Amino acid sequence: MPRALLVPLVLLLGLLPLAAQAQTYGLPTPQPRSTDPAALRRVAREREVHERFRRGLDAEASGAWEAAAAEFRRVLALDPPEPKGSTARYDLALALAHTGHRAEAMDQLDEALRRDPGFAAAAANLTSLALEAGDVPRARAAADRFARIAPDAARARYARGLAALRGGDLGVARSEFGALLGSDPSYAVAHYDLGLVELRSGNVEAATAELRRAVALAPGYARARFALAEALIRGGRRDDAARELDRTLADAADPTLRSLASALRAGLR
Amino acid sequence: MIRARVPWLAAFAALLTMLSAGGVVLAATTGVLGSDLNALVPSAPPALLAPISEDGRVGWTCEAERAARARSAREAELPGAER
């Protein structure tokens, strides 16, 4: 290597550590630049909110839900402004739901939505929790609110359809599952639910068609195959039903479903 | 008098037996041809969406809010087909 190139190269390598030393890291909250006690208290509170959020989210990521709930409760005690207030309630609700405190979790999500009425994720989780609790009136109210926030959302349509189906409102259920399939026709589960709506409405042919679509999209979908067998029996096609039940018995992982399919298959012999 | 009633009682008992047997058969048939639709349960509720950082839900980087507003089932993290 020519000596003329060697000198600049050595100088350049010598400067590298200086570049590394010059690298700076941002602080989570601004450094205090005042001796005013009120300003110092405010900065300290902001720092604590930041730190509690970080620890709460780390705890949720590792499944330590009790510890997470304690962190988010402390955040709420510090009464942070929006969006931190509604977000802390959302995260606290997750921790509460995982520790068996579903009712309090739903109350926290209600409060998050009162503070931030456009919070779609909070409305989504509130609907899921009400459905899990089997509280159909609350699930329907939450799903309606979710649909007002995000009318085209797949989750809003699915939740609204599911709550309506559980509540026996077959018209709304049909409309929501139909709309969901309009934007996502490959979703086998919505075909299954729409099949149930038609079966409960006494529309055996429409039910059979939907359930056939469900099992065509997801051949291992044992629950839909069992429902298809039921629709076929009601349509007088017992041989076809027997074939679907045999396949259900081969595919089903749920023992209750296997038992139901087995009883129905025995009745066809 | 008693002897005269015995064939009638026997015939009545036989008739009841036949009717109840017919009822059992009918019930069994109905059970096969139309089992309780309540056994066909709707699909599961969607799983809870992910936690949100202190920056809040605003912005496309918020995974939970994005899933809540997604239009496709996969992006919305809706339940899959159950076995």
Which residues 13-42 of chain A have a CB within 8 Å of chain B? Answer: none
Residue B72, pLDDT > 70, answer yes
Residue B21, pLDDT > 70, answer no
Tens-digit pLDDT profile for chain A (269 aa)?
566 666 666 666 665 555 555 556 555 566 667 778 888 888 888 899 999 999 999 999 999 999 999 999 999 999 999 899 999 999 999 999 999 999 999 999 999 999 999 999 999 999 999 999 999 999 999 999 999 999 999 999 999 999 999 999 999 999 999 999 999 999 999 999 999 999 999 999 999 999 999 999 999 999 999 999 999 999 999 999 999 999 999 999 999 999 999 999 998 87
Amino acid A73: pLDDT: 97
pLDDT, greater one: B9 or A34: A34
The single-letter DSSP state of residue B39 is: G
pLDDT mean over B7-18: 54
Contacts of A61 in chain B (CB under 8 A): 51
Residue B26, pLDDT > 80, answer no
Distance in Å, alpha carbon of A201 to nearest chain B alpha carbon? 11
Distance in Å, alpha carbon of B20 to nearest chain A alpha carbon? 20
Interatomic CA distance for residues A104 and A131, integer angstroms: 15
Amino acid A186: pLDDT: 95
Contacts of A224 in chain B (CB under 8 A): 81
Note whether B42 contacts A267, CB cutoff 8 Å. Answer: no
Interface test with A, best of B24, B25, B41, B52 (most A CBs within 10 A): B52
Contacts of A127 in chain B (CB under 8 A): 45-46
Find the closest chain A residue to B25 by CA distance: A267
CB-based contact, B45 to chain A, within 8 Å = yes
CB-based contact, B13 to chain A, within 8 Å = no
Share the mean pLDDT of chain B.
Answer: 72
Q: In one letter, which amino acid is A78?
A: L
**pLDDT for B36-60, tens place per residue?**
667 789 999 999 999 999 888 886 6
Interatomic CA distance for residues A52 and A232, integer angstroms: 57
Amino acid B59: pLDDT: 65
* Confidence bin at B27 (pLDDT 50/70/90): very low
Residue B11, pLDDT > 80, answer no
Contacts of A189 in chain B (CB under 8 A): 43, 73, 78-81
Note whether A162 contacts B42, CB cutoff 8 Å. Answer: yes
CB-based contact, B59 to chain A, within 8 Å = no
Amino acid B29: pLDDT: 39
Predicted TM-score of the model (pTM): 0.79
Interface test with B, best of A92, A189, A257 (most B CBs within 10 A): A189
Interatomic CA distance for residues A245 and A233, integer angstroms: 11
* Close Cβ partners of A176 (under 8 Å, ≥ 6 residues apart): A157, A158, A160, A161, A164
Amino acid A268: pLDDT: 86
In order of A148, A197, A208, the CA distances from A170 in angstroms are 20, 6, 17
Contacts of B82 in chain A (CB under 8 A): 221-223, 254
ipTM of the complex: 0.81
Dig out the tokens for A136 from the structure: 């159909």
Note whether A199 contacts B40, CB cutoff 8 Å. Answer: yes
Amino acid A174: pLDDT: 98
Judge whether A66 and A85 are in contact, CB under 8 Å. no
Contacts of A86 in chain B (CB under 8 A): 56-57
- Report the share of chain B in percent with pLDDT over 70: 52
pLDDT, greater one: B23 or A28: A28
